[in-house]
Amino acid sequence: MTHRIGFIGYGFMGHAHANALARLPMFFPDAPETDRHVLCGRTEERVAEAADQFGFTHTTDDWETLIDDVDILYNLGPNDLHAEPTIAALESDVHVLCEKPLANSLEDAERMVTAAQESDAVAACAFNYRYVPALRLAKELIEDGALGEIRHVRGTYLVDWQTDPEQPWVWRNDAERAGYGQVGDLGSHTIDLARWLVGDIADVSGRLTTFVDERPAPDGDGRLPVTTDDAYLATASFESGAIGVFEGSSMAAGHKATNAIEIIGSDGAIRFDLERLNELEVYDADRRGYERILVTGEDDPYGDRWWPAGHTIGWEHTVVHENYEFLRAIDGESDTIVSFDDALAVQRIVDTLVRSHDRGQRLAVETDR
Protein backbone atom coordinates (compact mmCIF):
# COMPACT_ATOMS: atom_id res chain seq x y z
CA MET A 1 0.00 0.00 0.00
CA THR A 2 1.22 3.47 -0.88
CA HIS A 3 0.36 6.06 1.77
CA ARG A 4 -0.88 9.41 0.47
CA ILE A 5 0.68 12.16 2.57
CA GLY A 6 -0.43 15.73 3.12
CA PHE A 7 1.65 18.48 4.74
CA ILE A 8 0.36 21.57 6.50
CA GLY A 9 3.32 23.93 6.33
CA TYR A 10 6.37 24.25 4.11
CA GLY A 11 8.92 26.05 6.28
CA PHE A 12 11.92 24.57 8.07
CA MET A 13 10.16 21.42 9.24
CA GLY A 14 8.28 21.00 5.97
CA HIS A 15 11.63 20.99 4.20
CA ALA A 16 13.08 18.54 6.73
CA HIS A 17 10.23 16.01 6.49
CA ALA A 18 9.97 16.24 2.69
CA ASN A 19 13.70 15.54 2.50
CA ALA A 20 13.27 12.56 4.84
CA LEU A 21 10.52 11.05 2.71
CA ALA A 22 12.69 11.46 -0.40
CA ARG A 23 15.65 9.71 1.29
CA LEU A 24 13.74 6.73 2.67
CA PRO A 25 13.48 4.61 -0.52
CA MET A 26 17.23 4.82 -1.08
CA PHE A 27 18.47 4.05 2.44
CA PHE A 28 15.48 2.34 4.08
CA PRO A 29 13.99 0.23 1.28
CA ASP A 30 11.84 -1.66 3.78
CA ALA A 31 10.00 1.55 4.70
CA PRO A 32 6.35 1.78 3.57
CA GLU A 33 5.86 3.47 0.22
CA THR A 34 4.62 7.07 0.24
CA ASP A 35 3.17 9.60 -2.17
CA ARG A 36 3.83 13.26 -1.36
CA HIS A 37 0.32 14.12 -2.41
CA VAL A 38 -0.91 17.51 -1.11
CA LEU A 39 0.91 20.53 0.30
CA CYS A 40 -1.19 23.07 2.19
CA GLY A 41 -0.33 26.71 2.82
CA ARG A 42 -1.86 30.18 2.74
CA THR A 43 0.07 31.83 -0.10
CA GLU A 44 -0.64 30.27 -3.50
CA GLU A 45 2.58 31.24 -5.24
CA ARG A 46 4.84 30.19 -2.37
CA VAL A 47 2.96 26.91 -1.88
CA ALA A 48 3.34 26.11 -5.57
CA GLU A 49 7.08 26.79 -5.43
CA ALA A 50 7.48 24.65 -2.31
CA ALA A 51 5.41 21.81 -3.80
CA ASP A 52 7.67 21.72 -6.83
CA GLN A 53 10.78 21.74 -4.63
CA PHE A 54 9.48 19.15 -2.15
CA GLY A 55 7.99 16.75 -4.70
CA PHE A 56 4.26 17.23 -4.03
CA THR A 57 1.79 16.73 -6.85
CA HIS A 58 -1.09 18.87 -5.52
CA THR A 59 -1.54 22.05 -3.46
CA THR A 60 -4.35 23.62 -1.47
CA ASP A 61 -5.01 26.49 0.92
CA ASP A 62 -7.72 24.54 2.76
CA TRP A 63 -6.60 22.01 5.35
CA GLU A 64 -10.07 20.44 5.49
CA THR A 65 -9.79 19.57 1.79
CA LEU A 66 -6.34 18.13 2.44
CA ILE A 67 -7.62 15.79 5.16
CA ASP A 68 -10.28 14.42 2.82
CA ASP A 69 -7.62 13.52 0.25
CA VAL A 70 -4.87 11.79 2.29
CA ASP A 71 -4.40 8.98 4.78
CA ILE A 72 -1.48 10.63 6.65
CA LEU A 73 -1.32 14.25 7.86
CA TYR A 74 1.96 15.91 8.75
CA ASN A 75 0.96 18.95 10.85
CA LEU A 76 4.00 21.20 10.53
CA GLY A 77 2.34 24.59 10.96
CA PRO A 78 2.62 27.10 13.81
CA ASN A 79 1.53 25.89 17.23
CA ASP A 80 -1.90 27.54 17.06
CA LEU A 81 -2.67 25.44 13.98
CA HIS A 82 -1.91 22.11 15.63
CA ALA A 83 -5.16 21.33 17.41
CA GLU A 84 -8.06 21.71 14.97
CA PRO A 85 -6.56 20.02 11.86
CA THR A 86 -5.07 17.23 13.97
CA ILE A 87 -8.34 16.53 15.78
CA ALA A 88 -10.27 16.59 12.49
CA ALA A 89 -7.79 14.18 10.92
CA LEU A 90 -7.95 11.74 13.83
CA GLU A 91 -11.75 11.84 13.82
CA SER A 92 -11.51 10.68 10.19
CA ASP A 93 -8.94 8.00 11.16
CA VAL A 94 -6.20 9.82 9.25
CA HIS A 95 -2.77 9.13 10.78
CA VAL A 96 -0.97 12.19 12.18
CA LEU A 97 2.61 13.25 12.78
CA CYS A 98 2.42 16.60 14.61
CA GLU A 99 5.35 18.86 15.33
CA LYS A 100 6.19 19.80 18.91
CA PRO A 101 5.04 21.17 21.24
CA LEU A 102 1.75 19.35 20.80
CA ALA A 103 -0.34 22.56 20.99
CA ASN A 104 -0.17 26.19 22.07
CA SER A 105 -2.14 25.44 25.24
CA LEU A 106 -2.47 22.56 27.66
CA GLU A 107 -6.22 22.44 27.09
CA ASP A 108 -5.80 21.97 23.33
CA ALA A 109 -3.13 19.33 23.91
CA GLU A 110 -5.55 17.39 26.13
CA ARG A 111 -8.23 17.61 23.41
CA MET A 112 -5.75 16.21 20.90
CA VAL A 113 -4.89 13.29 23.16
CA THR A 114 -8.58 12.50 23.61
CA ALA A 115 -9.02 12.50 19.82
CA ALA A 116 -6.03 10.16 19.46
CA GLN A 117 -7.38 7.78 22.07
CA GLU A 118 -10.75 7.61 20.29
CA SER A 119 -9.24 7.15 16.81
CA ASP A 120 -8.05 4.04 15.00
CA ALA A 121 -5.22 6.11 13.50
CA VAL A 122 -1.60 6.36 14.68
CA ALA A 123 -0.78 9.71 16.32
CA ALA A 124 2.85 10.70 16.90
CA CYS A 125 4.62 13.87 18.00
CA ALA A 126 7.84 14.87 16.25
CA PHE A 127 10.53 14.78 18.92
CA ASN A 128 13.28 13.87 16.46
CA TYR A 129 16.17 13.81 18.94
CA ARG A 130 15.04 10.44 20.22
CA TYR A 131 16.33 9.11 16.89
CA VAL A 132 19.92 10.33 17.20
CA PRO A 133 22.06 7.15 17.12
CA ALA A 134 24.28 8.37 19.98
CA LEU A 135 21.26 9.04 22.20
CA ARG A 136 19.73 5.67 21.38
CA LEU A 137 23.03 4.13 22.48
CA ALA A 138 22.83 6.21 25.67
CA LYS A 139 19.38 4.80 26.37
CA GLU A 140 20.68 1.25 25.88
CA LEU A 141 23.47 1.90 28.39
CA ILE A 142 21.06 3.35 30.95
CA GLU A 143 18.57 0.50 30.55
CA ASP A 144 21.39 -2.05 30.86
CA GLY A 145 22.38 -0.50 34.21
CA ALA A 146 25.79 0.70 33.04
CA LEU A 147 25.36 4.02 34.88
CA GLY A 148 23.99 2.49 38.06
CA GLU A 149 21.50 4.60 40.02
CA ILE A 150 20.82 7.84 38.16
CA ARG A 151 21.46 10.87 40.35
CA HIS A 152 21.95 13.98 38.21
CA VAL A 153 20.42 15.13 34.91
CA ARG A 154 21.63 18.31 33.20
CA GLY A 155 19.97 19.42 29.98
CA THR A 156 20.53 22.55 27.90
CA TYR A 157 19.35 23.82 24.55
CA LEU A 158 21.07 27.08 23.69
CA VAL A 159 20.84 28.95 20.37
CA ASP A 160 21.68 32.50 19.34
CA TRP A 161 19.32 33.31 16.46
CA GLN A 162 17.54 36.08 18.42
CA THR A 163 20.58 37.61 20.12
CA ASP A 164 20.39 40.74 17.95
CA PRO A 165 17.49 42.90 19.23
CA GLU A 166 16.96 44.05 15.64
CA GLN A 167 16.26 40.50 14.50
CA PRO A 168 12.72 40.78 13.04
CA TRP A 169 9.67 39.59 14.97
CA VAL A 170 8.39 36.09 14.13
CA TRP A 171 5.31 34.14 15.19
CA ARG A 172 7.29 32.45 17.94
CA ASN A 173 7.39 35.85 19.67
CA ASP A 174 3.59 35.89 19.92
CA ALA A 175 2.02 34.07 22.89
CA GLU A 176 -1.32 33.82 21.06
CA ARG A 177 0.23 31.76 18.25
CA ALA A 178 3.13 30.02 19.97
CA GLY A 179 1.59 29.53 23.41
CA TYR A 180 5.06 29.39 24.94
CA GLY A 181 8.46 30.87 24.23
CA GLN A 182 11.75 29.03 24.57
CA VAL A 183 10.44 26.99 27.51
CA GLY A 184 8.13 25.31 24.99
CA ASP A 185 10.18 25.54 21.82
CA LEU A 186 13.56 24.42 23.17
CA GLY A 187 12.60 23.21 26.63
CA SER A 188 10.16 20.62 25.32
CA HIS A 189 13.04 18.86 23.55
CA THR A 190 15.15 18.79 26.72
CA ILE A 191 12.24 17.62 28.86
CA ASP A 192 11.30 14.88 26.42
CA LEU A 193 14.86 13.54 26.34
CA ALA A 194 15.09 13.66 30.14
CA ARG A 195 11.80 11.73 30.54
CA TRP A 196 12.73 9.22 27.82
CA LEU A 197 16.17 8.52 29.29
CA VAL A 198 15.53 8.81 33.04
CA GLY A 199 11.79 8.68 33.73
CA ASP A 200 8.90 10.78 34.94
CA ILE A 201 9.39 14.17 36.58
CA ALA A 202 7.61 14.77 39.90
CA ASP A 203 8.03 18.51 40.48
CA VAL A 204 9.70 21.56 38.98
CA SER A 205 10.67 25.13 39.68
CA GLY A 206 10.89 27.55 36.75
CA ARG A 207 12.29 30.98 35.95
CA LEU A 208 11.47 32.67 32.63
CA THR A 209 12.70 35.95 31.22
CA THR A 210 12.27 38.15 28.14
CA PHE A 211 15.39 40.16 27.33
CA VAL A 212 13.95 42.00 24.30
CA ASP A 213 10.35 43.11 24.69
CA GLU A 214 9.77 44.33 21.11
CA ARG A 215 11.23 43.63 17.70
CA PRO A 216 11.02 45.11 14.19
CA ALA A 217 7.90 44.03 12.31
CA PRO A 218 8.71 41.56 9.51
CA ASP A 219 7.37 43.98 6.88
CA GLY A 220 9.59 46.76 8.23
CA ASP A 221 6.64 48.85 9.41
CA GLY A 222 7.22 49.66 13.07
CA ARG A 223 7.85 47.28 15.94
CA LEU A 224 5.80 44.47 17.51
CA PRO A 225 5.67 43.36 21.15
CA VAL A 226 7.38 40.14 22.24
CA THR A 227 4.95 38.28 24.50
CA THR A 228 6.89 35.03 24.95
CA ASP A 229 10.02 34.24 26.94
CA ASP A 230 13.52 34.44 25.43
CA ALA A 231 15.05 32.09 28.00
CA TYR A 232 14.18 29.79 30.88
CA LEU A 233 15.84 27.96 33.75
CA ALA A 234 14.39 25.03 35.69
CA THR A 235 15.17 22.58 38.43
CA ALA A 236 13.39 19.25 38.60
CA SER A 237 12.94 16.22 40.81
CA PHE A 238 12.43 12.87 39.13
CA GLU A 239 10.17 10.21 40.58
CA SER A 240 13.23 7.93 40.71
CA GLY A 241 14.96 10.29 43.16
CA ALA A 242 17.28 11.89 40.62
CA ILE A 243 17.48 15.68 40.40
CA GLY A 244 17.79 17.78 37.26
CA VAL A 245 18.68 21.22 35.92
CA PHE A 246 17.38 22.45 32.55
CA GLU A 247 18.18 25.61 30.59
CA GLY A 248 17.13 27.01 27.24
CA SER A 249 17.66 30.30 25.41
CA SER A 250 17.43 31.85 21.95
CA MET A 251 19.74 34.65 23.16
CA ALA A 252 22.86 32.58 23.95
CA ALA A 253 25.56 34.28 21.90
CA GLY A 254 27.99 31.83 20.34
CA HIS A 255 25.67 28.82 20.60
CA LYS A 256 24.28 27.65 17.27
CA ALA A 257 22.57 24.50 18.51
CA THR A 258 23.94 23.39 21.87
CA ASN A 259 21.37 20.69 22.57
CA ALA A 260 23.26 18.88 25.31
CA ILE A 261 22.41 16.41 28.02
CA GLU A 262 24.52 14.88 30.78
CA ILE A 263 23.32 12.03 32.96
CA ILE A 264 25.35 11.01 36.00
CA GLY A 265 24.81 7.81 37.93
CA SER A 266 26.42 5.96 40.79
CA ASP A 267 28.55 3.83 38.45
CA GLY A 268 29.00 5.96 35.36
CA ALA A 269 27.86 8.87 33.24
CA ILE A 270 27.13 9.94 29.68
CA ARG A 271 27.41 13.28 27.87
CA PHE A 272 25.96 14.30 24.51
CA ASP A 273 25.90 17.53 22.49
CA LEU A 274 24.05 17.95 19.20
CA GLU A 275 26.95 20.01 17.85
CA ARG A 276 28.92 16.74 17.97
CA LEU A 277 25.97 14.62 16.92
CA ASN A 278 27.89 11.43 16.09
CA GLU A 279 29.65 11.25 19.45
CA LEU A 280 28.71 9.98 22.89
CA GLU A 281 31.02 10.53 25.85
CA VAL A 282 30.89 7.67 28.34
CA TYR A 283 32.45 7.40 31.80
CA ASP A 284 32.54 4.38 34.06
CA ALA A 285 34.04 3.81 37.50
CA ASP A 286 37.06 1.96 36.09
CA ARG A 287 38.20 4.97 34.05
CA ARG A 288 39.74 8.26 35.12
CA GLY A 289 37.89 10.28 32.51
CA TYR A 290 35.31 10.21 29.76
CA GLU A 291 35.80 8.07 26.67
CA ARG A 292 34.61 9.50 23.35
CA ILE A 293 32.66 6.96 21.32
CA LEU A 294 32.04 7.60 17.62
CA VAL A 295 28.56 6.15 17.05
CA THR A 296 28.79 5.39 13.32
CA GLY A 297 29.48 1.66 13.22
CA GLU A 298 27.38 -0.97 11.51
CA ASP A 299 26.30 -2.34 14.90
CA ASP A 300 25.27 1.08 16.22
CA PRO A 301 21.62 2.25 16.02
CA TYR A 302 20.75 2.82 12.34
CA GLY A 303 24.47 2.42 11.54
CA ASP A 304 23.87 -0.28 8.95
CA ARG A 305 21.68 2.07 6.86
CA TRP A 306 24.17 4.79 6.06
CA TRP A 307 27.92 4.93 5.43
CA PRO A 308 31.02 2.99 6.55
CA ALA A 309 32.17 3.56 10.15
CA GLY A 310 33.58 7.02 10.69
CA HIS A 311 31.61 8.54 7.81
CA THR A 312 29.32 10.68 9.89
CA ILE A 313 25.66 11.57 9.48
CA GLY A 314 23.94 14.90 10.21
CA TRP A 315 20.86 16.49 11.75
CA GLU A 316 18.63 15.69 8.76
CA HIS A 317 19.15 11.97 9.33
CA THR A 318 17.37 12.13 12.69
CA VAL A 319 14.23 13.18 10.80
CA VAL A 320 14.73 10.32 8.34
CA HIS A 321 14.88 7.87 11.26
CA GLU A 322 11.79 9.48 12.81
CA ASN A 323 9.82 9.14 9.58
CA TYR A 324 10.95 5.54 9.17
CA GLU A 325 9.64 4.55 12.59
CA PHE A 326 6.40 6.55 12.20
CA LEU A 327 5.54 4.99 8.86
CA ARG A 328 6.39 1.51 10.10
CA ALA A 329 4.19 2.11 13.17
CA ILE A 330 1.27 2.77 10.82
CA ASP A 331 1.92 -0.64 9.29
CA GLY A 332 2.20 -2.23 12.73
CA GLU A 333 5.96 -2.84 12.47
CA SER A 334 7.37 -0.38 15.04
CA ASP A 335 6.54 0.79 18.56
CA THR A 336 9.16 3.54 18.94
CA ILE A 337 7.07 6.60 18.06
CA VAL A 338 6.59 9.45 20.54
CA SER A 339 2.92 9.09 21.40
CA PHE A 340 0.53 11.96 22.05
CA ASP A 341 0.43 10.76 25.67
CA ASP A 342 4.19 11.32 25.90
CA ALA A 343 3.86 14.72 24.24
CA LEU A 344 1.10 15.69 26.68
CA ALA A 345 3.32 14.70 29.62
CA VAL A 346 6.01 17.04 28.26
CA GLN A 347 3.49 19.84 27.78
CA ARG A 348 2.22 19.45 31.34
CA ILE A 349 5.76 19.96 32.60
CA VAL A 350 6.24 23.02 30.36
CA ASP A 351 2.93 24.42 31.57
CA THR A 352 3.91 23.75 35.20
CA LEU A 353 7.18 25.63 34.68
CA VAL A 354 5.26 28.66 33.43
CA ARG A 355 2.91 28.54 36.42
CA SER A 356 5.87 28.03 38.75
CA HIS A 357 7.44 31.20 37.40
CA ASP A 358 4.19 33.13 37.74
CA ARG A 359 3.68 31.99 41.34
CA GLY A 360 7.30 32.07 42.41
CA GLN A 361 7.19 28.60 43.89
CA ARG A 362 8.03 24.98 43.22
CA LEU A 363 5.09 22.99 41.88
CA ALA A 364 4.20 19.33 41.54
CA VAL A 365 3.60 18.14 37.99
CA GLU A 366 -0.03 17.14 37.69
CA THR A 367 -0.66 13.91 35.81
CA ASP A 368 -4.34 14.63 35.17
CA ARG A 369 -6.49 17.76 35.03
Separation CA 367–CA 344 (nearest Å)? 9
- Give the mean model confidence (pLDDT) for residues 209-221: 95
Cα 276 from chain centre:
18
Q: How confident is the model at residue 367 (pLDDT cuts 50, 70, 90)?
A: confident
Examine the pLDDT at 126 and tell me if it is beyond 80.
yes
Residue 352's H or E segment, with its range, is helix 340-359
C-beta atoms surrounding 365 within 10 Å = 19
Beta bridge partner(s), residue 34: 3
pLDDT digits (tens, 9 = 90+) for 268-302: 999 999 999 999 999 987 777 899 999 999 999 99
pTM for this prediction: 0.96
- Domain range annotation of the chain: 2-126, 130-359
Q: Is the peptide bond before 218 cis (omega within 30 degrees of 0)?
A: no
Q: How confident is the model at residue 325 (pLDDT cuts 50, 70, 90)?
A: very high
Let me know: does 182 contact 189? Beta carbons within 8 Å.
no
Mean pLDDT score of the chain, rounded to an integer? 96
The pLDDT assigned to 6 comes to 98
Q: How confident is the model at residue 198 (pLDDT cuts 50, 70, 90)?
A: very high
CATH architecture under which domain 130-359 falls: 2-Layer Sandwich (3.30)
Among the four given CATH numbers 3.40.50.720, 2.30.110.10, 3.40.50.2020, 2.40.50.140, the one describing domain 2-126: 3.40.50.720
Examine the pLDDT at 45 and tell me if it is beyond 80.
yes
The pLDDT assigned to 289 comes to 86
pLDDT digits (tens, 9 = 90+) for 231-270: 999 999 999 999 999 999 999 999 999 999 999 999 999 9
- Give the mean model confidence (pLDDT) for residues 200-213: 98
Three-state secondary-structure class, residue 224: strand
The pLDDT assigned to 369 comes to 53
Sign of CA dihedral 310, 312, 318, 323: negative
Cβ burial, residue 145 (10 Å; 0-12/13-18/19+): exposed
Examine the pLDDT at 177 and tell me if it is beyond 60.
yes
